[in-house]
């Protein structure tokens, strides 16, 4: 049975870049539920709906080598600058402004760019490349297939069946939002026959409060979780939280979540190990930040730059 709940925003002060570790006052859903704010759908959650084990396993196996990489471009989602999460080669941080910082290199030279905390958060599908990083012939078109997809096409192609499962479940469980996204997507920048341009993949990573501001207007993100079945370090937590409503969702493998992450602030609760013993070879940074656990979340969406006018 699907529970339908209508709630209104609270009066909480929302600070992008902050982590939420205290769940006091939060309702965490672990069942089928639709959450509305008036007539507007905030979130739709369906348990145990993605049942093709082969596609789940193929996705997990072929995305792992990308998912475990660290990036430092996640902005507010990576949280306020924390020395334990900044790369070692960035010495003597300066001009720290919330979630970004300048730094001195190992040779003592001032950096010309800012960085964020590292995050095991990467993308497949289509991305926007900074104009300065494009070749002359590419400059007219800044949206490109992500490097991983070009470098490892076989692995990318083996991820597609599970992405199609996500797409079909989105269509089956949220027809109105699906069709709106269908007319907004640009076929030139679409992953196979889906309404998604891009998939963000997060490995054992707690995101801080942020909005998905690069998603297309009024589009919805489709989220699920798979386990890295080569990693025996099980986890607890990682709930997807919406602090404006004091609600959260326990998204596990095979679950489907559809939500308006473009409009509303969201983040994850702490991801912690089930057991204190660390299995396998992990470095100190991974262990300190709990980046060694076997949770892989994936967020499928339509980027603003990949959408067209309705």
Q: Domain containing 155: what range?
A: 3-79+121-306
Q: For strand 3-6 and strand 33-37, is the pairing parallel, antiparallel, or unpaired?
A: parallel
Tell me: pLDDT of 289 over 80. yes
Residues 228-271 have pLDDT tens digits of 999 999 999 999 999 999 999 999 999 999 999 999 999 999 99
Residue 130 has a pLDDT of 63
Domain co-membership, 126 together with 151: yes
Residues 14-65 have pLDDT tens digits of 999 999 999 999 999 999 999 999 999 999 999 999 999 999 999 999 999 9
Please state, in angstroms and rounded to a whole number, the distance separating the CA atoms of residues 126 and 164.
Answer: 16
What is the DSSP track for 133-179?
GS-GGGTT--EEE-HHHHH-HHHHHHHHHHHHHHHHHHHHH-HHHHH
Does residue 237 sit in helix, strand or coil? strand
Element (H, E) at 57: helix 53-67
Domain co-membership, 97 together with 245: no
Element (H, E) at 6: strand 3-6
Domain co-membership, 111 together with 195: no
Residue 140 has a pLDDT of 47
Domain co-membership, 50 together with 169: yes
Domain co-membership, 168 together with 255: yes
Domain co-membership, 84 together with 217: no
Tell me: pLDDT of 139 over 80. no
Residue 43 has a pLDDT of 98
Please state, in angstroms and rounded to a whole number, the distance separating the CA atoms of residues 75 and 97.
Answer: 11
Residue 120 has a pLDDT of 98
Mean pLDDT of the chain: 94
Residue 208 has a pLDDT of 98
Domain co-membership, 215 together with 85: no
Bridge partners of 102? 94
Residue 132 has a pLDDT of 46
Domain co-membership, 252 together with 201: yes
Domain co-membership, 74 together with 90: no
- pTM of whole model > 0.75? yes
Domains held by the chain: number: 2
We report the CATH number of the domain holding residue 219 as 3.60.130.30
Tell me: pLDDT of 134 over 60. no
């Amino acid at each position: 049975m699907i529970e339908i709940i209508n709630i209104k925003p609270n009066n909480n002060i929302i600070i992008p870049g902050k982590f939420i570790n205290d769940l006091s006052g939060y309702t965490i859903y672990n069942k089928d539920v639709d959450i509305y704010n008036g007539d507007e759908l905030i979130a739709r959650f369906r348990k145990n709906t993605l049942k093709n084990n082969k596609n789940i396993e193929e996705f997990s196996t072929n995305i792992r080598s990308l998912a475990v990489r660290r990036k430092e471009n996640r902005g507010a989602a990576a949280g306020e600058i924390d020395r334990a999460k900044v790369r070692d080669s960035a010495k003597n941080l300066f001009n720290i402004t919330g979630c970004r910082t300048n730094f001195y290199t190992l040779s003592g030279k001032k950096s010309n760019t800012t960085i964020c905390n590292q995050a095991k958060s990467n993308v497949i599908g289509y991305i926007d490349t900074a104009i300065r990083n494009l070749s002359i012939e590419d400059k007219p078109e800044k949206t490109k297939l992500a490097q991983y997809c070009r470098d490892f096409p076989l692995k990318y192609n083996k991820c597609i069946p599970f992405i199609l499962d996500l797409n079909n479940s989105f269509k089956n469980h949220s027809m109105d939002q699906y069709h709106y996204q269908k007319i907004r997507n640009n076929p030139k920048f679409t992953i196979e026959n889906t309404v998604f341009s891009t998939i963000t993949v997060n490995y054992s990573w707690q995101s801080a409060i942020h909005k998905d501001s690069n998603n297309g207007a009024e589009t919805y993100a489709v989220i699920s979780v798979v386990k890295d079945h080569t990693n025996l370090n099980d986890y607890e937590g990682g709930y997807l939280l919406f602090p404006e409503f004091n609600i959260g969702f326990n998204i596990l493998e095979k679950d489907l979540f559809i939500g308006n992450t473009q409009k509303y602030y969201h983040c994850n609760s702490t991801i912690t190990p089930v057991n204190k013993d660390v299995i396998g070879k992990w470095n100190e940074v991974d262990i300190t930040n709990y980046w060694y656990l076997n949770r892989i979340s994936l967020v499928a969406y339509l980027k603003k730059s990949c959408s067209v006018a309705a």
